[in-house]
Amino acid sequence: MTPTINTLMVVGMVSIPGMMTGQILGGVDPAEAARYQIVVMLMITAAAAIGSMILVGLSFRRLFTDDDALKPELYTSPEA
C-alpha cells in the first residue's frame, strides 16, 4: 500500500498523470480533467487495498490455528 499512497501524495503537485495531461491537451477543462484523474487514482488505491486485505485474510487462515497461534510446522525444523 505504501507505493500507492505515496503516488497519491504527489499527483498534481510533482507529476501530472498521463490521462489528465491528455485531456488537458485535448481541450477539456482542467478542473474536469482533475476530477477524472482523482476518480482513477481512487480506483487504483481501492484495488490495491482490497487486494492487500484479501492476501492478508488468506495468509492468516493458512499460517495460524483456530487459537490464533502460529502453526507449529512453521517454526519447527524438519527432521533429517
- Per-residue pLDDT for the chain (80 aa), expressed as one digit of tens each? 888 888 877 776 666 777 788 888 999 998 898 888 888 888 989 999 999 999 999 999 889 998 989 988 888 877 65
DSSP-assigned beta bridge partners for residue 70: 64
Give residue 12's pLDDT: 66
Asked whether the beta carbons of 29 and 35 are under 8 A apart, the reply is: no
Q: C-alpha angle 5/15/47, rounded to 5°?
A: 35
Q: What is the pLDDT of residue 37?
A: 85
Distance CA 41, CA 47 (A): 10
First to last CA, the chain: 40
Domain residue extents for the chain: 30-80
CA quadruple 38, 42, 48, 49: dihedral sign: positive
